[in-house]
């Protein structure tokens, strides 16, 4: 498949951003920190004695973020859920829940929009064909997913439909490397044709001996491989990031051929030096970078008027949504400023997809922005040129 950059997509992990800035005080710190920050190489293994219908979750009922935020995607990185015959639901819990009304199942037809990678719906559950990574898009119609989320989780369901069961299949060592929930941002257009793509092998160091020979120390030759605990394999094994792995049992004669490249796929770390010309101000900057009450009025729905200039303020939310769940302007903004801010200028990782129409596994990578490479220039009235370098992390 093509490797060209068309319309890039940036998947931003909002819970990780809020946790990193101290605005998300979730008590399950060990589990939360294992599943946040997009470090899926060594997955979290669910303890067998964990007495809950939740396979995995980040957050809890009693602790909530300081602000509401909208979501439009979920990504499950380095899981082996396809090896389990049970059914799974992905749910989110917000502070206004009343019974199950506040436990929206993100995989229902009401909220589920489209499969991006290995995440086809089956009723209210996910139908997973492969182990590895699953990514799906959410609708967020009428701002139903703009909430003060308490936690997100993967719920285990038996075939009899009982969601409260704790009768887990102990033959499957359930694992999850990272649970990414947040918003993606699509660039408004393709980057300039003069972009640069490169492959870095900076994990290989060479030195010359006195005798004239060249020695090479290979510390790493690509992104860190992920660990898979497949119940049909005797031992855990490594596989390249985002590759999909068979979840069924194989005869010994075909065991070695069920993974097409046996883990020997692409080598090297990718980098992209991208320039976007003629980006509008709305696509470049957040309308207001302050989260204070002013310049917003304080009516019951959060306010639509700048009280200083008496001009209309852009709002990302329906007026029917209660003020307590009105999305934070920074977290709901549809501009590059949202991506830059919620990754702390490249400190926090994001998932990068150089072509949002190509959903092959090799199109996805965990990346950061290279330090001191952001350049924004105003080239005309309310029009900007943006240049940035994106590095795949080791």
pLDDT, one tens digit per residue, over 146-204 is 888 888 989 876 545 444 444 667 778 899 999 999 999 999 999 998 889 999 999 99
Q: What does DSSP assign to residue 71? A: -
d(CA 89, CA 97): 17
Question: When comparing pLDDT for 109 and 95, which is higher?
Answer: 109
| Residue 161: per-residue pLDDT | 47
Mean pLDDT estimate for the chain: 81
Instruction: Please check the confidence at residue 346 and state whether its pLDDT lies above 60.
Output: yes
Instruction: Return d(Cα 136, Cα 118) in angstroms, integer.
Output: 8
By the 8 A CB rule, do 137 and 80 touch? no
Q: Give residues with Cβ within 8 angstroms of 221, minimum separation 6.
A: 201, 203, 204, 267, 268
In angstroms, the CA 371 to CA 393 distance is 13
Burial of 7-28, coded b for 16+ CB within 10 Å and e otherwise, reads: ebbbbbbbbbbbbbeeebebee
| 366 within 8 A of 225, measured Cβ to Cβ | no
Give the DSSP H/E element, type plus range, for residue 59: strand 54-59
Euclidean distance between the first and final Cα of the chain, in Å? 23
pLDDT value of position 312: 47
Whether the predicted pLDDT of 318 surpasses 50 = no
Going from the C-alpha of 198 to that of each of 170, 213, 390, the distances in angstroms are: 44, 28, 10
- 229-233 long-range contacts (CB < 8 A, ≥24 apart) are 229/43, 229/45, 229/80, 229/173, 229/175, 230/80, 230/83, 230/131, 231/80, 231/83, 231/171, 231/172, 231/173, 232/83
Query: Could you please report the per-residue DSSP string of 250-269?
Result: --TTTGGGSSTTTT----SE
Greater pLDDT, 111 or 252: 111
Distances (CA, A) of 247 to 69, 105, 153: 35, 25, 22
**pLDDT digits 0-9 by tens, 234-248:** 889 899 999 998 887
Q: How far is CA 39 from CA 12, 57, 59, 76, 192, in A?
A: 14, 16, 18, 12, 31
């Amino acid at each position: 498949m093509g490797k060209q950059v068309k319309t890039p997509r940036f998947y931003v992990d909002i819970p990780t951003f809020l946790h990193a800035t101290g605005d998300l005080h979730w008590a399950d710190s060990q589990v939360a920190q294992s599943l946040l920050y997009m470090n899926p190489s060594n997955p979290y293994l669910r303890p067998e004695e964990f007495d809950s219908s939740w396979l995995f979750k980040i957050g809890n009922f009693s602790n909530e973020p300081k602000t509401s935020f909208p979501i439009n995607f979920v990504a499950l990185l380095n899981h082996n859920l396809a090896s389990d015959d049970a059914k799974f639901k992905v749910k989110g819990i917000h502070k206004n829940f009343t019974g199950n009304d506040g436990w929206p199942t993100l995989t229902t037809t009401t909220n589920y929009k489209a499969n991006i990678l290995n995440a086809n719906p089956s009723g209210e559950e996910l139908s997973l064909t492969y182990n590895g990574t699953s990514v799906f898009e959410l609708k967020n119609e009428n701002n139903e997913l703009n909430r003060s989320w308490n936690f997100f989780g993967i719920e285990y369901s038996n075939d009899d439909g009982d969601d409260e069961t704790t009768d887990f299949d102990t033959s499957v060592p359930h694992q999850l490397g990272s649970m990414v929930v947040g918003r993606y941002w699509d660039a408004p257009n393709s980057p300039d044709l003069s972009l640069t793509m490169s492959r870095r092998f900076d994990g290989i160091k060479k030195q010359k001996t006195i005798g004239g020979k060249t020695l090479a120390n290979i510390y790493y030759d690509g992104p860190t491989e992920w660990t898979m605990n497949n119940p049909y394999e005797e031992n855990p094994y490594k596989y390249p990031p985002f590759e999909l792995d068979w979840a069924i049992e194989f005869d010994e004669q075909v065991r070695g051929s069920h993974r097409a490249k046996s883990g020997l796929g692409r080598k090297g770390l990718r980098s992209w030096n991208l320039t976007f010309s003629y980006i509008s101000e709305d696509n470049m900057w957040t309308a207001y970078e302050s989260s204070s009450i002013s310049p917003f009025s304080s009516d019951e729905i959060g306010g639509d008027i700048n009280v200083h200039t008496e001009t209309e303020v852009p709002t990302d939310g329906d007026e029917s949504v209660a003020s307590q769940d009105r999305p934070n302007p920074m977290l709901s903004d549809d501009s590059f400023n949202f991506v830059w801010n919620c990754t702390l200028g490249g400190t926090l990782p994001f998932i990068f997809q150089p072509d949002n129409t190509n959903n092959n596994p090799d199109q996805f990578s965990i990346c950061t922005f290279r330090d001191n490479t952001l350049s924004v220039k105003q080239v005309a009235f309310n029009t900007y040129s943006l240049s940035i370098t994106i590095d795949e992390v080791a």
